[in-house]
Structure 1
């Protein structure tokens, strides 16, 4: 049985972005929003401007989640692990980069895009910017619910492998692109911050019954990280 406190949550979707109590809604939802560095960063960070859309969405959601948890960027390093689940990873960026290899159009390959043709690139950028030194990796999911990554993260937290855990999911606006027969989730990113000890007010707790493979938030069963986010927001508005 794994148990952790949910200290923070942050997200980027077609319709809104931010964290509980600090939400910016899109006036005309049409794809994932373009996020500027000034919107989420407390100091200039050139790497953010060079990121592909997939990386920007994931980086922003992690930043929002840390802000909600009250974890501020500082020079001191923090033993916080970061785990992200995805269905297709940076496939959208890979396809865009492939288009720059076309000899027929006389276009040179884009070195900027090439730098982000690994799905875990934004995790490295986020850990460097926020000073997170715990384990960091991506989980490629067959079932797009984020729970496989969450289970791995809760094990790490339970075993003392990190002081806190940032865990979530990130998916491109990849629907209808490429010969992939799978049910893609809604595009966007959703991340949470988990801790073992409740040091500040948070959003309740998450429990994993490993024997039955059941996750619960309070007395509600969780079938996906999206479910968890909806439960948290529902409690905030009631």
Structure 2
């Protein structure tokens, strides 16, 4: 089973790294959160302002997760690194925004940039492009404990050697939580939490900060 090496989260009040415990609070902005972007995304991110709220949350969270796992971003070699994202709401808010703009502005002057975010896979696609991920890219939806299912699928891809490292997480307009899962043979450092410990926490569910705290409260022991 793959193990956990780090996790990053953001919501409309705060953001942080689960393993290192670093983080900060921030003021609520137009997209539900507005942290100082350079604190989380120090590398240039062209057209970041056009992203919808779920895509911004995903990119923030992925950056924090990579930092927490000790991985640079964008990755120097992302060939074996993939990403899988989950969402309960899908892209409903972006759908409404797109069609409202279409009705108000018409086909000729409507903002076509809104259209790409009517695809629920857009948040993980934006993160994959920016961070140089070249492994599998998947999106899954659902209504009950979809994060646990998302992580289980990521671990299965690693076990089947379809990827050496996977970012797995859940996102939405109000925030996101992503984690770095990897085979021990592909990482220089020791894992932070075992795959079994990680899945036990995810099956309990909870808010993104709550899940991060539960992972931190396990202790330092890694189950072989």
TM-score range, shorter chain: 0.7 to 0.9
For 1:106 and 1:69, the matched residues in 2 are separated by: 45
Matched, 1:203 2:187: no
Aligned to 1:176: none
Counterpart of 1:32? 32
More strand per residue = 1
Residues 37, 48 of structure 1: 8 Å contact kept: no
Aligned pair 1:10/2:11, yes or no? Answer: no
Aligned residues: 212
Greater share of helix = 2
Deviations 1:4-31 (A, max 9, x none): 2210100111221121332011367998
How far residue 89 of structure 1 moved from its aligned partner, in angstroms, is 1.5
The question of whether the paired residues in 2 share the 8 Å contact of 1:37 and 1:49 is answered with: no
In the alignment, which residue of structure 2 is the partner of 1:189?
176
Q: Please list, as runs of the form range in 1=range in 2, the aligned pairs for 1:17-56 lying within 5 A after superposition.
A: 17-20=15-18, 21-26=21-26, 32-35=32-35, 37-56=37-56
Stretches of structure 1 lacking an aligned partner (at least 5 in a row): 173-186, 209-213
TM-score by length of 2: 0.82
Structure 2, unaligned runs of 5 or more = 220-224
Once the two structures are overlaid, the 10-residue window that deviates more, 96-105 or 39-48, is 96-105
Structure number with greater Rg is 1
**Offset at 1:51?**
0.6
Contact persistence 1:203–1:232 (CA under 8 A): no
Aligned-residue CA RMSD (Å)? 2.9
Asked if the contact 1:141/1:148 (under 8 Å) is kept, the reply is no
- Alignment check: 8 A CA contact 1:62 1:191 kept: yes
Question: Residue 8 of structure 1 contacts residue 192 of structure 1 at CA under 8 Å; is this kept in 2?
Answer: yes
